[in-house]
């Protein structure tokens, strides 16, 4: 069963002046438990596609179905709520709320979902444990390294028990060791907990970890390779 | 982590800026309160002086008297009127007066004067008139001797024991003329009055004006001035309003009240300018706070925070800064206001002299009234909330993808 289906997706920027076809009729589907990497040269449309998948931007044409929901038909408030309950995000940088500790950053999402305190506490600790940051619970992002911050971001993305996690170049600002460490954690979560990850990267070593690699060029899919 | 705590932490991200903004609010609130307290204290005092030196809290006249103030518009001073007034619990003193114009002459000089016929004892208990005597004796109940205000006496070249000739028109056009011996000289603090007032006892004035038993006003002073509304109500329902008019001190002092209002308004304009400047300062803070966090807002909305909630947090942040400033301003001003309310400022120099000549201690208590404290506080918070329009609009217009790009 596909958890995400993209049909004939197009995104045209600056339609009225000099149109840029960032995505050009993309058809794509993702299954539960995937560990998929989107690659392609700069400007090929990776960020654009992840933004559409995450419901952060609306397509010029085509549809996106997540579970039973056609997210392109949701109104703004509904879409925000949909993101809260279904999608986890890891951004390239400055992911976290600077005035909240690692624990509070993770807990925050569950609080917005209305989960009770004792449950929140339990899950937060589990998640920070899973990303290897049990000792940084009460540290604020400013005092964490870039790699540690990204791991907190992964924990936060997982907190809401989303259907899948989107990560646009999560390792771009990390040194190679931290990047490798982050990928290992993601991979472990994918393997052991069947968490679905869709991420983009320019880093060949990150690509190597992926089990499916989708290649974009000029807003079109030019390759879609699964290794098993 | 409640939204309140999140907002509170956010404002301390830039300690200096928050403290600076709060300090500017503090200063504005502090200054505004002290200025308003001084001004209100001074004006209340002036009103108090007017009440105590002449008008009393309430006056009863013949209906229409206050518009032309003629001798024909007078009322009969009889038991039924005093009974009505004295029945009211809040009434302390009543002073019957008959006032009208006449010509005074002595030797070669002639001048228009105001004759005030009054009950010497009651007058003294309301206005302490006798304490303003500079020469001779105060009025007595029965004699025909008059007391003349200092400036007038000087103009007419009068001394105690001299004779003053008064000529005028009495009740219903009867001509009035008489010779009166000057019993004493009195100093009245208000120059216009000092140049034209002649006091005599009520029967003498009634006789002079052929207005037997008539008075132009009955001044009433109250035990509890704050309950004037109630007493006014009781009075207006007790007297026949087709014959009488009942006026409170603020209606009697329309001109003074008008002047005080103008002065209050100019004070308010200065305070408003102060608030405007502070408002722009707050606005600057709000703009910086919003602009430098656009990306963070993008992240928050991306991961599922509703814009309304985010906007609420930003408003809370500004409210916290506003409250910090306003409450500390209040906390600093209140003790000062309270202290000088209970221990009034001792006036000196000309101001003190003026007070003393009214027979009033030269003390100026600062006003301590919830009215202006609350209105200043509200004004600041309204300004703060107005500046929030900017971040709130920003949040609602936020395009997540663009914000993340910042
Ligand atoms: N907001 C925008 N307005 C106009 N054009 C845009 C906008 N965002 C992206 N584009 C254009 O759309 C195309 C795809 O951009 P996108 O950011 O999706 O590429 P990408 O694959 O993520 O690149 P990179 O590897 O550099 O991150 C590019 O040509 C880009 O210039
Ligand atoms: Mg990109």
pLDDT of residue B1 exceeding 80, the answer is: no
Q: In whole angstroms, what is the distance from residue B398 CA to residue B395 CA?
A: 5
Helix axes B15-50, B254-291, angle to 10 degrees: 180
Mutate which of A14, A48, A60, A215 for ligand 1 pocket (most atoms within 8 A of beta carbon): A48
CB contact under 8 A, A111 and B1: yes
Q: In whole angstroms, what is the distance from residue B34 CA to residue B333 CA?
A: 6
Supply the pLDDT for residue B359: 61
What mean pLDDT comes out for the span A138-162? 93
B78: Cα within 13 Å, side-chain hemisphere: 5
User: Which residue on chain A is closest to B396 by alpha carbon?
Assistant: A76
Would you say A90 and A82 are in contact if contact means Cβ atoms under 8 Å apart? no
CB pairs under 8 A between A and B: 62
Quickly state the pLDDT bin for B257 (edges 50, 70, 90).
confident
What mean pLDDT comes out for the span B25-44? 92
What mean pLDDT comes out for the span B202-230? 93
What mean pLDDT comes out for the span B309-319? 96
Long-range contacts of B191-194 (CB under 8 A, 24+ apart): B191/B151, B193/B114, B193/B149, B194/B149, B194/B150, B194/B151, B194/B152
Closest CA to B54 of B85, B97, B14, B86: B97
Q: Which amino acid residue places its CA nearest to atom 16 of ligand 1?
A: A45
Closest CA to A102 of A162, A161, A151: A151
pLDDT of residue B24 exceeding 90, the answer is: yes
Task: Give the distance from residue B5's alpha carbon to the nearest chain A alpha carbon, in angstroms.
Answer: 10
Q: Which amino acid residue places its CA nearest to atom 5 of ligand 1?
A: A13
Q: What is the DSSP string of B21-61?
A: HHHHHHHHHHHHHHHHHHHHHHHHHHHHHHIIIII-SEEEE
Supply the pLDDT for residue B294: 93
What mean pLDDT comes out for the span B252-274? 89
Supply the pLDDT for residue B42: 85
pLDDT of residue A45 exceeding 70, the answer is: yes
CB contact under 8 A, B295 and A94: yes
Burial call A17-36: b when 16+ CB within 10 Å, e when fewer? eeeebbbbebebebeeebbb
Residue B129: phi and psi, rounded to 5, are -60, -40
Name the DSSP class of A195: -
Closest atom, ligand 1, to C-alpha of A41: 25
Q: In whole angstroms, what is the distance from residue A52 CA to residue A81 CA?
A: 16
CB contact under 8 A, B304 and A104: no
Would you say A209 and A180 are in contact if contact means Cβ atoms under 8 Å apart? no
Q: Which amino acid residue places its CA nearest to atom 25 of ligand 1?
A: A42
Q: What is the DSSP string of B284-310?
A: HHHHHHHHTTHHHHHHHHHTT--HHHH
Does residue B4 sit at the A interface (CB-CB below 8 Å)? no
Q: Tell me the CA distances in angstroms from A30 to A5, A79, A191, A215, one per residue in order.
A: 7, 20, 16, 14
Supply the pLDDT for residue A62: 94
Q: What is the DSSP string of B191-257?
A: HHHHTTEEEEEHHHHHHHTT-TTEESEEEEEESSGGGHHHHHHHHHHHS-TTTEEEEEHHHHTHHHH
Q: A100: which chain B residues are within 8 Å (Cβ-Cβ)?
A: 1, 6, 9
Tell me the H-state helices in B69-215.
Answer: 79-86, 120-127, 150-156, 191-194, 202-208
pLDDT of residue B28 exceeding 90, the answer is: yes
Supply the pLDDT for residue B44: 85
Look at chain B and count its residues.
Answer: 406
Q: In whole angstroms, what is the distance from residue B243 CA to residue B247 CA?
A: 13
Ligand 2 midpoint to CA B341 (Å): 68
Supply the pLDDT for residue B360: 66
* Centroid of chain to Cα B299: 56
Query: Hey, what are A26's tokens?
Result: 């993309």
Q: Degrees (nearest 5) of the Cα angle A53, A54, A57?
A: 85
Does residue B5 sit at the A interface (CB-CB below 8 Å)? no
- Give the mean pLDDT of chain A: 93
Identify the contact set of chain A against chain B, taking CB-CB distances under 8 A: 51, 54, 56-57, 76-77, 80-81, 83-85, 89, 91, 94-100, 104, 107-109, 111-113, 156-157, 160
Per-residue pLDDT tens for B340-375? Answer: 999 988 888 887 877 776 666 788 889 888 888 999
Q: Residues B105, B107, B108, B113: what is their CA dihedral angle, to the nearest 10 degrees?
A: -20
pLDDT of residue B277 exceeding 80, the answer is: yes
Per-residue pLDDT tens for B98-129? Answer: 999 999 998 888 999 999 999 999 999 998 89
- pTM: predicted TM-score of the whole model, two decimal places: 0.81
Q: A89: which chain B residues are within 8 Å (Cβ-Cβ)?
A: 299, 302-303
pLDDT of residue A76 exceeding 80, the answer is: yes
Task: Give the distance from residue A137's alpha carbon to the nearest chain B alpha carbon, in angstroms.
Answer: 14
User: Which residue on chain A is closest to B7 by alpha carbon?
Assistant: A99
pLDDT of residue B406 exceeding 80, the answer is: no
pLDDT higher for A155 or B42? A155
pLDDT higher for A65 or B132? A65
Q: What is the Rg, in whole angstroms, of the alpha carbon atoms belonging to chain A?
A: 17
Terminal CA-CA length for chain B: 27
Q: Tally DSSP H helices, then E strands, for chain A.
A: 7, 10
Name the DSSP class of B78: -
pLDDT of residue B226 exceeding 90, the answer is: no
Q: In whole angstroms, what is the distance from residue B229 CA to residue B234 CA?
A: 9
Q: B289: which chain A residues are within 8 Å (Cβ-Cβ)?
A: none
Select from B12, B299, B307 the Cβ nearest to the Cβ of A95: B299
Quickly state the pLDDT bin for A135 (edges 50, 70, 90).
very high
Q: B303: which chain A residues are within 8 Å (Cβ-Cβ)?
A: 83-84, 89, 109, 156-157
What mean pLDDT comes out for the span A136-148? 94
Quickly state the pLDDT bin for A110 (edges 50, 70, 90).
very high
Q: In whole angstroms, what is the distance from residue B198 CA to residue B194 CA?
A: 9
Q: How many CB atoms lie within 10 A of CB A208?
A: 11
Q: In whole angstroms, what is the distance from residue B105 CA to residue B156 CA?
A: 7
What mean pLDDT comes out for the span B379-387? 95
Closest atom, ligand 1, to C-alpha of A48: 18
What mean pLDDT comes out for the span B376-401? 95
Q: B11: which chain A residues are within 8 Å (Cβ-Cβ)?
A: none
Q: Tell me the CA distances in angstroms from B149 to B183, B187, B205, one per residue in order.
A: 11, 6, 16
Q: In whole angstroms, what is the distance from residue B363 CA to residue B377 CA?
A: 28
Select from B296, B304, B401 the Cβ nearest to the Cβ of A97: B296
Q: In whole angstroms, what is the distance from residue B267 CA to residue B262 CA?
A: 9
Strand duo B197-201 + B109-118: pairing? parallel
Q: B6: which chain A residues are within 8 Å (Cβ-Cβ)?
A: 97, 99-100
Q: Which of A56, A96, A101, A153 to mutate to probe the B interface, most B CBs <10 Å?
A: A56
Closest atom, ligand 1, to C-alpha of A44: 21
- Partnered with residue A55 across adjacent β-strands are none
- Give the mean pLDDT of chain B: 91
Query: Hey, what are B128's tokens?
Result: 């302490």
Supply the pLDDT for residue B81: 87
Ligand 1 close to Cβ of residue A48 (< 6 A) = yes
Terminal CA-CA length for chain A: 18
Residues 6+ apart with CB under 8 A from A17: none
Ligand 1 midpoint to CA B397 (Å): 22
């Amino acid at each position: 069963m596909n958890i995400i289906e993209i049909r004939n997706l197009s995104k045209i920027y600056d339609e009225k002046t000099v149109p840029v076809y960032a995505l050009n009729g993309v058809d794509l589907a993702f299954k539960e438990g995937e560990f998929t990497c989107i690659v392609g040269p700069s400007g090929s449309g990776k960020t654009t596609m992840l933004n559409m998948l995450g419901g952060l931007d609306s397509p010029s044409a085509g549809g996106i179905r997540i579970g039973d929901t056609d997210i392109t038909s949701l109104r703004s408030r509904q879409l925000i709520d949909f993101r809260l309950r279904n999608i986890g995000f890891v951004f390239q940088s400055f992911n976290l709320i600077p005035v909240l500790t690692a624990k509070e950053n993770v807990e925050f999402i569950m609080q917005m979902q209305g989960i009770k305190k004792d449950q929140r506490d339990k899950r937060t600790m589990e998640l920070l444990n899973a990303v290897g940051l049990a000792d940084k619970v009460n540290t604020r992002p400013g005092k964490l390294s870039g790699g540690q911050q990204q791991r907190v971001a992964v924990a936060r993305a997982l907190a809401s028990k989303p259907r899948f996690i989107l990560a646009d170049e999560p390792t771009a600002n990390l040194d190679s060791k931290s990047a490798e460490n982050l990928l290992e954690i993601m991979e472990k979560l994918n393997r052991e907990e069947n968490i679905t990850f869709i991420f983009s990267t320019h880093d060949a070593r990150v690509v190597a970890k992926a089990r499916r690699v989708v290649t974009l060029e000029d807003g079109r899919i030019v390759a879609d390779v699964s290794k098993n | 982590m409640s939204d309140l705590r999140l907002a509170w932490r956010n404002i301390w991200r830039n300690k200096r800026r928050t403290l600076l903004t709060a300090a500017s609010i503090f200063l504005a609130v502090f200054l505004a309160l002290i200025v308003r307290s001084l001004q209100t204290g001074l004006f209340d005092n002036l009103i108090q002086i007017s009440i105590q030196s002449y008008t009393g809290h309430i006056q009863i006249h013949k209906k229409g008297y206050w518009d032309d103030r003629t001798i024909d518009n007078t009322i009969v001073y009889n038991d039924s009127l005093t009974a009505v007034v004295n029945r009211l619990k809040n009434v302390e003193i009543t002073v019957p007066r008959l006032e009208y114009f006449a010509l005074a002459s002595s030797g070669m000089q002639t001048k228009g004067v105001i004759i005030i016929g009054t009950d010497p004892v009651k007058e003294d208990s309301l206005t302490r008139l006798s304490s303003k005597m500079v020469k001779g004796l105060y009025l007595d109940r029965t004699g025909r001797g008059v007391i003349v205000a200092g400036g007038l006496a000087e103009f007419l070249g009068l001394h105690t024991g001299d004779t003053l000739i008064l000529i005028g028109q009495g009740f219903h056009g009867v001509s009035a003329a008489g010779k009166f011996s000057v019993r004493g000289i009195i100093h009245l603090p208000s120059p216009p009055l000092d140049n034209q007032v002649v006091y005599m006892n009520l029967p003498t004035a009634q006789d002079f004006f052929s207005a037997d038993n008539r008075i132009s006003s009955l001044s009433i002073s109250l035990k509890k001035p704050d309950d004037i509304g109630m007493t006014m109500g009781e009075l207006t329902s007790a007297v026949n309003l087709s014959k009488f008019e009942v006026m409170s001190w603020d209606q009697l002092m329309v001109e003074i009240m008008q002047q005080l209002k103008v002065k209050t308004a100019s004070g308010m304009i200065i305070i408003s300018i102060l608030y405007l400047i502070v408002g722009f300062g707050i606005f600057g803070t709000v703009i910086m706070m919003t602009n430098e966090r656009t990306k963070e807002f993008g992240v928050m909305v991306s991961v599922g925070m509703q814009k309304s909630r985010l906007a609420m947090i930003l408003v809370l942040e500004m409210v916290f800064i506003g409250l910090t400033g306003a409450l500390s301003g209040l906390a600093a001003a209140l003790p000062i206001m309270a202290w000088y309310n209970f221990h009034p400022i001792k006036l000196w120099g000309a101001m003190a002299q003026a007070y003393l000549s009214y027979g009033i201690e030269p003390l100026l208590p600062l006003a301590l009234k919830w009215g202006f404290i609350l209105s200043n506080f509200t004004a600041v918070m309204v300004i703060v909330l107005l500046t929030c329009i900017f971040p709130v609009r920003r949040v609602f217009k936020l395009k997540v993808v663009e914000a993340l790009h910042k």
